[in-house]
A and B are shown apart, each in its own frame.
Chain A
Amino acid sequence: MTTQSKPRKPLPTPSRDNVPFWEGLKQREFRIQQCSGCGSYRWLPKPACPKCMSTDYAWVAASGEGVVWTYTTIYRAGPAFQDDIPFTVAAVELKEKPLRCLVMSWIVDCDAEAVYIGMPVKVKFEDIPGEDTTVYKFAPA
Chain B
Amino acid sequence: MPFPSGQVAIVGIYLTDQGKLPDRTSDSLCVEAFKGALDDAGLTPGDVDAVSPAGGLMQAGWWAHQLDKTIVMAGSGAMGAAGVTEAAAFINAGLAEVVVLICGQAGSRLGPGSQSAAVTARSPRVSEWNPAPWGMFMSAWYAQMAQRYLHVFGATSEQLAEVSVTFRRHATLNPRSVMGVRGEITVDDVMGSRMIATPLHLLECCLDNDGGYAIVVTSTERARSLKKKPVLVLGGATALWNTPYEEFNDEYWPSPASVTGPKAMAQAGVKHDDFDVLGIYDCFTITVARLMEDLGFCKLGEGADYVGGGRLGLGGEFPTNLDGGLLSHSHNGNPSGLHLIEVVRQLRGEVEPERQVENPKIGFVHGQGAAVLGRHGSCVLAID
Contact = CB atoms under 8 A, between A and B. Distances in A.
Tell me whether A and B are bound partners.
Answer: yes
Interface of A: 4-15, 18, 44, 69-81, 84, 87, 89-91, 93, 100-102, 104-106, 117, 128, 130-131, 133, 135
Given A14-B128, A44-B243, A69-B148, A89 B123 contact: no
Given A75-B194, A78-B112, A104 B246 contact: yes
Chain B contact residues: over half helix, strand or loop, or mixed? loop
Interface of B: 111-137, 139-140, 143-145, 147-148, 151, 194-200, 243, 245-249, 252
Given A6-B119, A13-B127, A101 B197 contact: no
B140 A74 contact: yes
Contacts of A80: 115-117, 135
A102 B248 contact: yes
B151 A75 contact: no
Nearest to A106: B134
List 8 tightest A-B contacts by C-beta distance, closest first.
Answer: A78-B115, A70-B148, A79-B117, A72-B143, A81-B135, A78-B112, A72-B197, A8-B123
B136 A13 contact: no
Given A11-B123, A72-B143, A72-B147, A78 B247 contact: no
Contacts of A81: 112, 135
Contacts of B197: 72-76
28 contacts: A8-B119, A9-B123, A9-B133, A10-B130, A12-B130, A13-B125, A18-B128, A69-B148, A72-B143, A72-B147, A72-B198, A73-B195, A74-B140, A76-B111, A76-B112, A77-B112, A78-B116, A80-B115, A93-B249, A101-B243, A101-B245, A101-B247, A102-B249, A104-B131, A104-B134, A105-B134, A117-B147, A117-B148
A3 B367 CA distance: 42
Given A87-B135, A106-B134, A7 B118 contact: yes
Given A7-B120, A74-B196, 18 more contacts: A8-B119, A8-B120, A11-B133, A13-B128, A69-B249, A70-B145, A72-B143, A72-B197, A73-B197, A73-B198, A74-B140, A75-B196, A78-B112, A78-B114, A87-B135, A89-B131, A91-B248, A117-B151
B122 A131 contact: yes
Given A78-B115, A101-B246, A4 B121 contact: yes
B119 A4 contact: yes
Most chain A beta-carbon neighbours within 10 Å: one of B116, B127, B131, B147 = B147
A138 to B, nearest CB: 11
B122 A8 contact: yes
A58 B198 CA distance: 38
B339 to A, nearest CB: 26
A83 to B, nearest CB: 11
A18 B127 CA distance: 13
B123 A13 contact: no
Contacts of A11: 123-126, 133
A91 B144 contact: yes
A100 B249 contact: yes
A20 to B, nearest CB: 13
Contacts of A15: 128
Contact of A12 (B127, B143, B247): B127
A84 B126 CA distance: 20
A9 to B, nearest CB: 6
A78 B246 contact: no
A77 B143 CA distance: 13
Nearest to B118: A7
Given A18-B128, A104-B131, A7 B117 contact: yes
